[in-house]
């Protein structure tokens, strides 16, 4: 048995480099807390020589993953390759060979989590992934441990820093969508192809992981209703503020005892007083409502070299502690149920709708009637001065089922007085007492 915990690192890019630095910088404290030193011995990367120049002679570098996976001396495999392949194969092999795995890979965990946990359980290994959701924010572990005695009612998260930065900037600097997107790209917050961020897919992957843990049931990406922020205009943000709301891209998981669980990612209007409404810039936060604890929120940086390394290293230490006590596999897969999904048409929320209408008498009455016919009652109505010869009408409905909402929208679209239904945004009044 080695007198240190032997870590093999696959992927020494932004996050991997951060992990190397944190483990070096805080080595003494980490050894104290774990009871043994933790050492990275081998680092995998496509360009070993470049890595050697960067991180020095303390590590062995290889361009062949098997040098790590097949090395019997390595206790923990840290997978930071990103993307689905070969990360999934690397994790599978490591677990099959009885190695503990720490990963930051949301794509792999969201898609193959259950299958990988089956191997981990069979091999009595740890599979940890705190960094896969919301970077440095402790949320996976708290859900699995400190909050484990609770029945989670709902979970709402700002889990994509790029879109939160963009929406914050739109509202603070009164800029329109395309301006803030360009700015986010210039700052490196958004990729040249920003689709996965602004379209909500990145948030959806994280939600799949969070919901599976919160509700103890497998959730698949296809189950998530995904809607991005592309259609959010400055006008919507201004109306929201006028009505006392902020617009955030939220990943929402709810459970309805009668209809089952629902998972969705969409722009959401939140009361300004809600704790999530104050989470700005690239910060992430997860707001959890459960039967015993009530409302609780976890906030921090959802990405970046060191915050993500913080989560990865925390997991490595937890695995190392388990190794000290030969109790790897201590926390098993938490998906031991098969809960049904709430049919979309039964999902209930209030809704904000902005539309352009012909500016003639009776227009508003016709619109109100169209809503009424679908049992959609209105909570707020704003009619503003003309926008190129048309009136702009904004309504917020009372709580409405998706089914009724869609019918109402269809009717509106064909209503002669309505020339355009510009935006539809769900409203969350939050569960904060």
For residue 59, the minimal CB distance to a second copy (Å) is: 18
For residue 187, the minimal CB distance to a second copy (Å) is: 13
For residue 179, the minimal CB distance to a second copy (Å) is: 23
Q: Token digits for 185?
A: 């790209």
Letters for 189-228 (x = contact with a second copy by CB under 8 A, - = none) are ---------------------------x------------
The one among 83, 330, 360, 386 contacting a second copy by CB under 8 A:
330
Closest CA to 284 of 90, 80, 137: 137
Q: Which helix (H) or strand (E) holds 262?
A: strand 260-271
- Our measurement of the distance from residue 136's CA atom to the centroid of its chain's CA atoms, rounded to an integer in Å, reads 12
Within 87-233, where are the H helices? 87-96, 106-122, 140-144, 161-173, 177-186, 195-198, 201-215
Using CB under 8 A as the binding rule, the residues of this chain from 254 to 293 that contact a second copy are: 275, 278-279, 290-293
Residue 7 in the binding site for a second copy (CB under 8 A): no
Q: Say which DSSP state 327 is in.
A: -
Measured distance CA(375)–CA(86) in Å, rounded: 51
The one among 146, 375, 377, 413 contacting a second copy by CB under 8 A:
146
The one among 102, 133, 166, 313 contacting a second copy by CB under 8 A:
313
Catalytic residue among 123, 169, 206, 248: 206
The one among 14, 96, 150, 346 contacting a second copy by CB under 8 A:
150
Using CB under 8 A as the binding rule, the residues of this chain from 226 to 255 that contact a second copy are: none
* Options 110-118, 161-169, 253-261, 310-318: segment touching a second copy (CB under 8 A): 310-318
Closest CA to 428 of 276, 279, 270: 270
Number of residues that bind a second copy (CB under 8 A): 64
For residue 145, the minimal CB distance to a second copy (Å) is: 6
Q: At what angle do helices 201-215 and 106-122 cross, to 10 degrees?
A: 30
Helices (H) and strands (E) in the chain, counts: 15, 18
The one among 184, 198, 252, 309 contacting a second copy by CB under 8 A:
309
Handedness of CA 256, 259, 261, 265 (dihedral sign): negative
The one among 114, 225, 298, 341 contacting a second copy by CB under 8 A:
298
Question: DSSP states of 80-106 as a string?
Answer: ---SSTTHHHHHHHHHHTT-EEEE--H
Closest CA to 424 of 225, 253, 284, 267: 267
CA angle 324, 98, 72 (to 5 degrees): 85
Measured distance CA(254)–CA(215) in Å, rounded: 9
* Options 106-114, 307-315, 338-346, 391-399: segment touching a second copy (CB under 8 A): 307-315
Q: Say which DSSP state 137 is in.
A: S
CA angle 32, 34, 37 (to 5 degrees): 70
Residue 301 in the binding site for a second copy (CB under 8 A): yes
Within 194-249, where are the H helices? 195-198, 201-215, 234-242
Residue 13 in the binding site for a second copy (CB under 8 A): no
Peptide bond between residue 387 and the one before it cis (omega within 30 degrees of 0): no
The one among 97, 201, 299, 411 contacting a second copy by CB under 8 A:
299
Residue 318 in the binding site for a second copy (CB under 8 A): yes
- Minimum CB distance to a second copy smaller for 32 or for 85: 32
Residue 331 in the binding site for a second copy (CB under 8 A): yes
Using CB under 8 A as the binding rule, the residues of this chain from 76 to 115 that contact a second copy are: none
Alpha-carbon separation of residue 62 from 19, 47, 56, 318, 381 (angstroms): 17, 8, 14, 26, 64
For residue 389, the minimal CB distance to a second copy (Å) is: 41
Residue 187 in the binding site for a second copy (CB under 8 A): no
Q: Is 206 a catalytic residue?
A: yes
- Our measurement of the distance from residue 384's CA atom to the centroid of its chain's CA atoms, rounded to an integer in Å, reads 36
- Minimum CB distance to a second copy smaller for 162 or for 404: 162
Please report, as ranges, the residues that interact with a second copy according to CB under 8 A: 18, 22-23, 25-26, 29-30, 32-33, 35, 130, 136-138, 141-142, 144-151, 216, 275, 278-279, 290-301, 304, 306-307, 309-311, 313-318, 321-322, 324-327, 330-332, 334, 336-337
Catalytic site residues? 206
């Amino acid at each position: 048995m080695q007198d240190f915990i032997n870590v093999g690192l696959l992927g020494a890019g932004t996050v991997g480099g951060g992990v190397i630095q944190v483990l070096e910088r805080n080595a003494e404290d980490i050894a104290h807390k774990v009871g043994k030193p933790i050492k990275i011995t081998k680092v995998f990367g496509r360009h070993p020589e470049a890595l050697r120049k960067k991180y020095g002679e303390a590590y062995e570098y290889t361009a062949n993953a098997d040098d790590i996976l097949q090395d019997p001396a390595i206790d923990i495999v840290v997978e930071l390759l990103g993307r689905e392949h070969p990360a999934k194969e690397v994790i599978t092999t490591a677990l099959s060979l009885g190695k503990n795995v720490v990963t930051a890979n949301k794509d792999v965990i969201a898609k193959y989590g259950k299958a990988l946990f089956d191997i981990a359980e069979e091999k009595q290994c740890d599979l940890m992934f705190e960094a896969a959701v919301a970077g440095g924010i402790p949320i996976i572990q708290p859900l699995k441990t400190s909050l484990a005695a609770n029945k989670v009612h709902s979970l709402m998260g700002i889990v994509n820093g790029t879109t939160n930065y963009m929406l914050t900037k739109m509202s603070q600097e009164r800029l329109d969508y395309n301006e803030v997107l360009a700015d986010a790209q210039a700052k490196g917050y958004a990729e040249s192809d920003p689709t996965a961020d602004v379209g909500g897919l990145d948030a959806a992957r994280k939600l799949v992981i969070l919901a599976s843990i919160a509700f103890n049931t497998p959730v698949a990406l296809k189950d998530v209703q995904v809607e991005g922020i592309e259609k959010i205009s400055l006008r919507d943000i201004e109306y929201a503020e006028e009505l006392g709301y902020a617009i955030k891209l939220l990943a929402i998981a709810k459970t309805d005892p009668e209809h089952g669980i629902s998972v969705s990612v969409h722009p959401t209007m939140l009361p300004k007083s809600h704790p999530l409404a104050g989470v700005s810039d690239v910060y992430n936060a997860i707001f959890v409502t459960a039967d015993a604890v009530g409302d609780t929120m976890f906030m921090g940086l959802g990405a970046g070299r060191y915050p993500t390394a913080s989560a990865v290293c925390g997991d490595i230490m937890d695995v190392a502690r388990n190794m000290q006590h030969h109790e790897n596999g201590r926390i098993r897969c938490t998906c031991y149920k098969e809960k049904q999904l709430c049919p979309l048409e039964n999902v209930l929320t209030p809704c904000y709708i902005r539309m352009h209408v012909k500016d003639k008498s009776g227009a508003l009455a016709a619109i109100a009637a169209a809503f009424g016919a679908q049992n959609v009652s209105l909570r707020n109505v704003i009619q503003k001065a003309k926008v190129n010869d048309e009136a702009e009408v904004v309504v917020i409905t009372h709580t409405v089922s998706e089914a009724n909402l869609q019918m109402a929208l269809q009717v509106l679209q064909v209503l002669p007085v309505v020339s355009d239904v510009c935006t539809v945004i769900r409203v969350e009044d939050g569960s904060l007492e």
